[in-house]
Amino acid sequence: MVKDIEDNKMFDEILANSGSQYFFHRLENGLVEVVFKSGIRKIEPGEEDSAGRIWNPKLTDPDGNPMLDRQGKIKTPWTKFEAEVAIKGVPHIYSFSGEKSSILRNFIMAMKQQEISNSELPGTRWNIERIGQWDWRIQYLGREEEEKSSPSIKIATNPEIDKIKGALSIKKDISPTGVPKNDFLIYLSTVTHKKPNEVSKLIPDLIKQGIIKEEGNLIHIL
């Protein structure tokens, strides 16, 4: 029976298991968010690159004639630089081209400004924008785990908490070794005009907000 794929999970798995493709950042690509999965690698001619292929730079045209570089000189075997990355969740090998390339120099400068070493590069997120033939705008966005980390728990606001916090700040130095919990509840009763068994329900919120600390039968005002 024919069955449609209902979500993108299978598509993501297919892409993740299909191997990395080279990403040559062209001018029309513009701004790209890149998550690094490796540091920048240096591959000499004859060595295996990040895709598992032997790096042999193309030096001749289809007719076998020597190719020329931008300065009109005959091309010679050159070293390339690259890194494994993810772009929109898809694995790629980001090409930094050769040692004299503008993207490599600009990115190294951006790393130095952020005091990020090559060994610390994996897991970092960057916006890399090509704004001209030789010009780049590079912005550090943080680490990947910072984006994925669970948001901090927000404690529901309670109009009485601020009132209690102000009252406790006055009493903070009365008993540095702690206050018996029963005495503390009695004091809260006078502040809030509630019964001790009612104000005891406020204790968890006061602890979560770092206003007090409970230790056995003692309450410490922080």
Residues 102 and 107: their CA atoms lie apart, in Å, by 8
Q: What is the mean pLDDT of the chain?
A: 82
Average of pLDDT values for 175-184?
A: 77
Backbone angles phi, psi at 215, to 5 degrees: -140, 100
Residues 160 and 22: their CA atoms lie apart, in Å, by 59
Strands (E) in the chain, as ranges, are: 21-23, 31-36, 41-43, 80-87, 90-98, 124-130, 136-143, 179-180, 212-215, 218-221
Residue 85 has pLDDT above 70, yes or no: yes
Cα–Cα distance list, 183 to 178, 202, 208 (Å): 10, 15, 21
Mean pLDDT comparison of 12-21, 133-142, 195-204, highest-scoring range: 133-142
Give, as one character, the DSSP assignment of residue 152: P
pLDDT-based confidence at residue 33 (cuts at 50, 70, 90): very high
